[in-house]
Every structure is written in C-alpha cells, then in structure tokens.
Amino acid sequence: MRAYLHVTVHRRIDNWYEGLPDDAALALALHHRRRQAVERALAVAGPWHVSDWGHTAAPEASYAVELRLTLEGDPGAPEAELPALTWLGELLDGDQVPRATSNLIKALIGRFWLEQRAEHLRDVTFALPGGQKIRCDPDGERMLITVELRDGRRLCFLYHATEAEIEQKRTWSF
C-alpha cells in the first residue's frame, strides 16, 4: 500500500506586523525557524518518508511551503488519543480514507501542534488524495481543526475538546 499526502506549512508573519517585506531579515529568520520545526515534527520513524520537501530549505523566505509525504504502511493509532482525534478518525473513516492515512494525519497533528504551540510555525493543512482537507490553526494555547470532507461538509472543533464537546458537535454535524 502506498499513499501520498500533501502538507502545507505556513510560517509566522511577524514581519508583516512590523511593516517589513518578505525579504527582510526577520522574514528569513522565521522561514528558518519553520524549517527547523518541520524537520523536528517529521523526524519520527515510521512506515513513511518525505518524498518532496518543497521550498522548506530554500535560501529565500516564503510564506508557505508544501511537502509531499509517501506512506508505505500503517503507523498505527496513537496509544492515548484525544477525543477530537478519535472523532477525526471516525470522520475520515466515514469518508473512505484508509485507516493508515488517518493514523498518520492524527500523529502528525500532534507533532505539529507542539511546534505551533511553541510559536515556531503557523497553520498546517493536510490535503488527501480523495479531496479531503484538514487544517490546523493555532491560537495561543488552542488549536482549531477544520475538516473538509469530499461532499463539501466542513466541521470545526478544538484539538483539546472534551468528550462532551465532541459529542455535542456530532449531533450538530449530520
């Protein structure tokens, strides 16, 4: 089994808030900070590899980089899973996403969240071969996950949502 996953990772845009262009030293520093964060997040052993790093290590700053991951097996479900990730897995299962791909996305969301919370990077979007998208937007100590399914439905929930909050979302979603 071989599957592909596109991951778009945005850098912080502090230079914009200071009125500085994307070729300013601050933008380049943020670009390098994102590269290091992406490398840390993806430095996990498993049945997958980065088949295209995009412009992650480019000498010039860019707002977003797109990577391509190749999945060659199932990394397995996380041992202790947050209710939000359990529901994400159920949504993807219902949208015919292979379990191995779902497990990889859930694992990477947790790894990227650590880098987002440390303010090393911004939004991360996973684009699946079936057209589904999962966007992870950090906001301080919280992260909003937006799932776009093949039929066009969009569902939003917090990464650290409780089981009760997820259950309430389930009743609103369908």
In whole angstroms, what is the distance from residue 55 CA to residue 24 CA?
Answer: 17
pLDDT of 44 reads 77
Q: Which residue has the higher pLDDT, 138 or 1?
A: 138
Question: What percentage of the chain reaches a pLDDT higher than 90?
Answer: 74
More confident residue, 48 or 95: 95
Query: What is the rounded distance in angstroms from the CA atom of residue 105 to the CA atom of residue 99?
Result: 10
| Residues 159/109, Cβ–Cβ less than 8 Å | yes
- The Cα–Cα gap between 43 and 38 comes to 8
pLDDT band of residue 79 (cuts 50, 70, 90) is low
At residue 6's C-alpha, the angle toward residues 126 and 153, to 5°, is 40
pLDDT category of residue 80 using cuts at 50, 70 and 90: low
Has residue 113 got a pLDDT over 60?
A: yes
The pLDDT value given to residue 47: 81
Percent of the chain with pLDDT over 70: 95
Q: Is the pLDDT of residue 78 over 70?
A: no
Other residues' Cβ atoms within 10 Å of the Cβ of residue 166? 19
**pLDDT score for 173:** 54
Q: Per the structure block, which two tokens stand in for 149?
A: 């399914």
- Mean pLDDT for 56-63 is 90
This prediction's pTM: 0.92
SS3 category, 172: helix
Place of tokens 């994400």: 88
Confidence check: pLDDT of 48 > 90 = no
pLDDT above 60 (res 174):
no
Res. 170 pLDDT band, cuts 50 70 90: confident
